[in-house]
Amino acid sequence: MRGLFIVLEGCDRAGKTTQTQLLQKFLQARDRTCELAKFPDRTTSLGITINSYLQGSQALSDQAIHLLFSANRWELIDSLESKVKNGVNLIVDRYAYSGAAFTSAKGLDIDWCKSCDKGLLKPDLVLFLDTSNKTMSKREDFGAEVYENLEFQSKVREQFHLLKDDSWKIINASGTIEEVQAEIQTHVLTLLNQDSYAPIQRNLWCGNV
């Protein structure tokens, strides 16, 4: 049986990293092979350029950085797909939804933003960790990277909500770490308990799916 392809999305400081790690432990405790991945993957040569942009040491146009984020997914998708097909449950911290939400929050056309990732692997489940502006402002200080300020993050949140589809579950991320993880586990268990899964497909944002 193939693995599941689960994506965690959300604004900065929503707790994605902590929650992906806890979810991995949860799956491993049930004897499931489980790996974590993260976008951007800053280890590739494209990822190194993305990292310099995020840290403010390299200027790029909004279009150019968007295409690099997308290319960073396309360069890794074969390896992620083969893992899933070989039974690895993959938990991915950010995916194409971050791509479209962050770039369209700068004012670029959302359909153009989505078109670059059209045909990527479609996740089985997208867990969107939703944080209100009030909660976001109470979390520890944003860091020094280019997008880390409250005003921009609240625009990003609005854009994320335009991207919801049938694979999405909205998680209230204002609760405690344990409460949020419990809600996540409920959705993942529903999938795990299925006897079989439809084949994973490269049909993200293709037609009605």
Q: Report which residue type is found at 79.
A: S
Q: Which is nearer to ligand 2DT, 84 or 92 (CB)?
A: 92
Near ligand 2DT by CB under 6 A: residue from 2, 13, 94, 122: 94
Min separation Cβ 102 and ligand 2DT, Å: 3
20 binds ligand 2DT (CB under 6 A): no
* Closer residue to ligand 2DT (CB): 146 or 182: 146
Binding status of residue 147 toward ligand 2DT by CB under 6 A: yes
Judge whether 62 and 152 are in contact, CB under 8 Å: no
Q: Write phi, then psi, for 34 (nearest 5 degrees).
A: -145, 130
CB of 89 to ligand 2DT, least distance (A): 20
User: Which one among 40, 47, 83, 131 touches ligand 2DT, defined by CB under 6 A?
Assistant: 40
Q: How far apart are CA 136 and CA 48, in angstroms?
A: 28
Q: Is 69 an interacting residue with respect to ligand 2DT (CB under 6 A)?
A: yes
- Least distance in angstroms from the C-beta of 209 to ligand 2DT: 20
Whether the CB-CB separation of 129 and 15 falls below 8 Å is answered with yes
| List 102, 128, 160, 168, residue binding ligand 2DT (CB under 6 A) | 102
Please, what's the largest Cα pairwise distance for the chain?
49
Can you spell out the DSSP letters for 106-123? Answer: TT--HHHHHHTTTTSPPP
Q: At what angle do helices 96-104 and 62-74 cross, to 10 degrees?
A: 180
Residue 144's SS3 state is coil
For the chain, the first-to-last Cα distance in angstroms comes to 23
Residue with smaller CB distance to ligand 2DT, 105 or 200: 105
Interface with ligand 2DT includes 54 (CB under 6 A)? Answer: yes
User: Is residue 98 a contact point for ligand 2DT (CB under 6 A)?
Assistant: yes
Q: Which amino acid is at 111?
A: D
The residues that touch ligand 2DT, with contacts defined as CB under 6 A, are: 12, 39-40, 54, 69, 94, 98-99, 102, 147
